[in-house]
Chain A
């Protein structure tokens, strides 16, 4: 981005071609021939012809590359080469070389298959190679040759074939006689192009003899930079170490050959060279000891650099790093809009937005420069049209203001309303990265509206989140149009809202809309005003208004809805012409991922309105609680005496039943369930009895607990907790089940050492009779810990498993997209579906995955009859 006349034409890579380098090409692309293992001379300057030769690029500031004349960071480096004294086989191609040697004639170098058969199977093999990959193709060819009767003799020249075996990793034997790489290379040279095609090689891309190296390319120094330690000592990269070994041995080999050393010495050195070159490519070859540092830690050579999660591909190429990002702890702020993010001012002064100076905004931008980097809102950098960045400091401010003219770019501080992308890891779905509008706030945490916690799966127990500031106009436009919280409201997973009221907001709305709640009109107006609603003409003109009427103020006048709530008293929710006639507002209607209320609002009035009204409902719920008061207390779980004795009766009954079952079991009178053993049957029946007992106590608790107690309100409105949780606090905790069974392991024949062997009674097998409030007995506590630990283990094991499944799915499906003709295809244009999902409905535009025909019909006929 240099000037206004920037052409906006970018170069684009259209394809990447893979192939094997020929010796000729290696020499041609090399900038230098490397002849000495020495790296630096006495002055610390790279030696000519050494591995750090300046012709291979520069890694020291100040030096210039001898090949291209560029400085550090400008020069990407150049390859060099060494010519090997003796050829060496490339380890990655070893299996191909073996196949080629085995299945071609040692005399005439033809494929060991009669011409007729080649013609017969050639095309089929090629197709196989294309469909299933070269490995399968080679295997098939092997089978074909093994099946042909001419085995042992060449069908073309009738020469007898010898058996070729490989002694891993790199030594070949022909009938116990070793074949040297020279011999191998000369055999491979003689293979003709037509034949090698049947081995899955493309003769235009590769000649088999290239798999035996005669020259070795030396990677540029820029990809193996040395590190200067604090002591001033240089520490070389692993690759440089390995290359040093190769060059040294290669030189020794040369010298020995020239000096006419005995064959054994030459061969030993040759093998050593092979070892070094093999480990240079791959240091994890099965039968080779890995090359090590002096410290004993294995070297990281080429293959290890590419491979695995920390390798080049996954770590550096597919994963990118970015500037203009921030991360801290998050905290809630319900007074923010849902699509806002609170950014601490310290961050806002570091994160900047580039703005281009024009005649029209010159004065506006000058103000930022005047404030400088230390006052908010100021600016940190100025970018001149030639691309030079200038840091703004107190000394340079005046000069910069003078200098400013159209075409300059000012990097001003982040301000309210700027676009930011907000993210929380793990980013499992697209709602984990949404676009928010910035609100610069005091203090030091990032703040978000608690209603958007669900899509991020965030809570505030120390969670941190990331913020990114897009730097170009295109990026900002895309972020705002495609990633804004509004646009992400409907989940593409199930077509319902993923953003909804949570916790207090649900309790509040539940209490407000529950039957019997009313307040003076003036209070209601107060309440509404506190959440920013001043238009209250919808409120009926009477002294006391009901909660439902207050809630209705939020709804648009032409909105009608019919749904269900969780409540047993008012299960049906009816909204008619913007008035809540019946039903309570609980999790089923206001929560995320449930009910069509939010979905319909979104459909009818658009995403912006839907998000806005959701924000208001959220604030209303909280305002109600603030006005009314809301707390949860231990006394919420108090039970009257009758209830306690009722619970005791249930237990006594259950215990009797179980004892009865056990005695039946012991006497063999128990009816065996089909497909079970006697013991399994007993366990199942006991479990049934005990679970029934727990449910009954739950019922007793639910009936006897003060129904207006706040704990109950939270449970039945769906804000937090379940009736079961309450039953566990007040009534009994119940059977602790481990993998669907009662607890049985532990000591021989018993769960804990305080019980008799083979004790099958409930309390000896993990039934917790007490409630959390009453407190657990030691044994009960242990049982709960067992199950708790198991659950913990389950989570720990699950996370990597599901993560891997997800990675595989994402990798397999990432290139599928809907084409312009409505088909779903992959990147090879192969059709996967003719219409997406059989009806080409986008789930994120649907209502819970369907087109709601009934709603459309009723709305249309209503409209038509008006």
Chain B
């Protein structure tokens, strides 16, 4: 019975609120009461809706900009012993909204599939994800100038721990360093420069290059930290490579995330990137103990992602796409915009705010929106 009455609401209310109503509705209730409730909720919702012309963009900007002055500049954040250092506070928000591609602290949160999420082989699993470079498994690098080669003493114990055998190592090195002859003798690795004219400085360069050669794991993940979180083991990493990590079989690809919005865009698409922007900004605001409604963040994220690509709120990103010349010119690099506009014979139709402020005209938002239409007598 109540279900029928509730159905009316379903048509009016957004799904989120409707679900809350269904949940909060008392089980036993008279029809009259249910009707009264439905009516009241519908009325209340109607009253709460935004009015046409509301300058929601500016309200969102204010709502993020104003608490920005209260945020700390503290780059690092220590939340207990087992947490990692992460960029937080204002710098992080600026980083996200700028649409910066190289983060100061890229980080992943890797969830695992069943036996591993319960802690099985957790250390081993974590080490498999970490990027291993040659220097991590080498005990000593020495240069043999006479033979024009580098001798690398391998740390067999470490290799065993990481599960690397010599054959795999040789293979990895061949791909990593081209033009180098690789030879392995038990625990000794010999690198020879193929080109004959390799001088001493070249060998030194090669040594440095060899140290950084990728051997195993996921590229870009420089640190791993298994952590117990809500009764399951999660691997936190420093460095991020979403694409590669999602391909690892034991990773739970439905929950694994990174704090790099662009990687999310690349692997999971623009809608996921939008959600990532919202989540990341919200995380910062929350840890700062500030209160900003999620709708404002949604709007900002939507603006950043409206074109199908994540764009920063900068003169190269969102602002460049504005239709109005004067609006762009009033932001940054006015001369460039005016010159380009003149070459194209651009027309500014004065449809947004600043242009009309410049010309001392009412702005077309809010109460500036309604107009009178008069019919001319013929």
Question: Which A residues contact B (CB, under 8 angstroms)?
Answer: 12-20, 92-93, 96, 129, 132-135, 200-202, 204-206, 282, 303, 306-307, 311, 313-314, 317-318, 320, 426, 428-430, 478, 482, 492-496, 593, 673-675, 684-685, 688, 739-740, 794, 797-799, 801-803, 805-806, 808-820, 822, 824, 826-830, 832-833, 835-846, 849-851, 853-854, 856-857, 859-861, 863-865
Contacts and interface: CB of A to CB of B under 8 A. Distances in A.
B299 to A, nearest CB: 7
A811 B306 contact: no
Nearest to B328: A811
Contacts of B349: 14-15
Contacts of B67: 493
B45 to A, nearest CB: 6
Given A836-B295, A842-B50, A135 B340 contact: yes
Contacts of A853: 17, 20-21, 24, 41
A134 B50 contact: no
A495 B59 CA distance: 12
Contact of B56 (A92, A202, A798, A836): A836
A92 B333 CA distance: 13
A598 to B, nearest CB: 15
B350 interface: yes
B104 interface: no
B37 to A, nearest CB: 4
B61 A817 contact: no
Contacts of A860: 33, 36-37, 39-41
A820 B52 contact: yes
Contact of B223 (A201, A675, A802, A857): A675
Contacts of A675: 84, 223-225, 238
A848 to B, nearest CB: 8
Nearest to A201: B343
Given A493-B62, A805-B93, A806-B61, A812 B345 contact: no
Given A493-B291, A813-B60, A842-B54, A18 B17 contact: no
A213 to B, nearest CB: 14
A307 B336 CA distance: 10
B352 A840 contact: no
Given A13-B350, A133-B340, A843 B302 contact: no
15 contacts: A132-B320, A134-B340, A303-B335, A430-B59, A493-B296, A805-B94, A811-B331, A811-B354, A816-B55, A816-B303, A818-B51, A827-B324, A839-B14, A850-B17, A864-B36
A809 B300 contact: yes
Q: Can you list the 3 inter-chain pairs with the closest CB atoms, starting with the nearest? A: A205-B345, A816-B57, A806-B65
Contacts of A478: 367
Interface string B1-43: 0000000000000101100110011100110110011011100
B339 A93 contact: yes
Interface residues of B, number: 119
Contact of B63 (A18, A429, A835, A846): A429
Interface in B92-110: 93-94, 97
Given A135-B340, A809-B61, A811-B319, A18 B300 contact: no
B350 A15 contact: yes
B232 interface: no
Contact of B343 (A202, A430, A496): A202
A428 B319 contact: no
Interface stretch (B74-82, B145-153, B184-192): B74-82
A161 B313 CA distance: 43
Contacts of B40: 856-857, 859-860
Contacts, number: 365
B53 interface: yes
B26 A19 contact: no
A675 B224 CA distance: 7
B339 to A, nearest CB: 5
A805 B68 CA distance: 8
Interface stretch (B113-121, B211-219, B357-365): B357-365
Interface in B139-164: none
A818 B61 contact: no
A279 to B, nearest CB: 14
A740 B77 contact: yes
Contacts of A819: 52
B367 A200 contact: no
Contact of A306 (B29, B71, B335): B335
Contacts of B361: 12-13
Given A134-B343, A817-B365, A827 B352 contact: yes
B341 to A, nearest CB: 4
Most buried by B among A282, A841, A853: A853
Interface string B286-313: 0000011111101110110010000001
